[in-house]
Amino acid sequence: MGRVMEIAAFSLAEVTYAVGGDIGYQIQESAKSARFRLRTKQENVSGVLLPAFESYQTEGNNDFGLTGLGRGGQQVQRCRETYARAVEALVELASLQTAFVILDEVIKVVNRRVNAIEHVIIPRTENTIKYINSELDELDREEFYRLKKVANKKQRDTAAADLELKARRAAKGQPSEDDDGDHPKDLLADGDEEEVIF
C-alpha cells in the first residue's frame, strides 16, 4: 500500500512539473460525476456478516480528455492510472480494515461469553450438582436408617408375639411348639384313623 501511494505521489509531482503548475482546479472544474463507484456486499464468515467493498469505474465520456493537451498529457494519463490503482488498493484496505474491526468486536464478545461460561455458569452448575448429590446421599442414608428401624420393630413385634403365644400355651397347659421334651414327637401315633383295607 505504501509503495502504491508513493508512486502516485511521484506521478503527481511529475504532472505538476510537466504542466508547470497545479492542475487541480482544472480537474475539479471538468469533473461532472464520479467515475469511481463502490459496490458493497456482505460476506458470511462463521456466522458474522462482514461488509466487503468493491470499486469499479463507470464507462462513459472522459472528463479529463483535454487536460494537459498543451503539455504533459502523457504524465497526466499516467498519473490518472496510478491513482486509479491507488483507489482500488485503498478500497481493498478499507474493506479489510472494516472486517478486522468487526471481527475484533465479535471476538471480544465471544471471549466475554466464554469467560462467563468458564468462571460463572460452570462453577454454579457444578456446585448445584454437588448439592443435589449430597442431598440424595442424605436421603439414601435416611431411608436406610428408616428401613433398619422398621425391620428392628418387626423383629421386636414378632418376638413379643411369640412370647405372648408361648405364655398363653403355658397358661393352658399345652406344650409349646419349641418345647419337644427329651423324646421326639410321633406324628403317626396321635390320630385315631380308620384302617384302610385294599
Residue-wise pLDDT tens digits, 52-105: 888 888 776 555 555 555 566 677 778 788 888 888 889 999 999 999 999 999
| pTM, 2 dp | 0.55
Query: Considering the chain, what percentage of its residues have pLDDT values greater than 90?
Result: 35
Least confident of 41-55, 59-73, 115-129: 59-73
State yes or no: pLDDT of 159 exceeds 90. Answer: yes
CA-to-CA distance for 53 and 36, rounded, in angstroms?
A: 12
- pLDDT value, residue 71: 61
Which uninterrupted H or E stretch holds 39? Answer: strand 36-45
pLDDT digits (tens, 9 = 90+) for 176-189: 555 555 556 666 65
Q: What is the pLDDT of residue 30?
A: 67
Using the predicted structure, report yes or no on whether residue 144 has a pLDDT greater than 60.
yes
Task: Give the pLDDT of residue 118.
Answer: 95
pLDDT for res 13: 77
**Contact, 93 vs 1, CB < 8 A?**
yes
What's the pLDDT at 65? 55
CA distance 116 to 122: 9
113, pLDDT greater than 60: yes
Average pLDDT in the chain: 81
CB count within 10 Å of CB 86 equals 18
Q: Where are the alpha helices (DSSP H) in the chain?
A: 2-19, 24-30, 73-116, 122-172
Give the residue carrying C-alpha cell 421326639: 184
- Provide the pLDDT for residue 54: 87
How much is the pLDDT for 46?
A: 83
pLDDT at 158: 93
The confidence band for 36, taking pLDDT boundaries of 50, 70 and 90, is confident
Question: 41 has which bridge partners?
Answer: 52
- Rounded Cα distance, 149 and 158, in Å: 14
Choose between 181 and 37: higher pLDDT: 37
Q: Half-sphere exposure (CA, 13 Å, Cβ side) for 85?
A: 15
Residue range 38-56: average pLDDT? 87
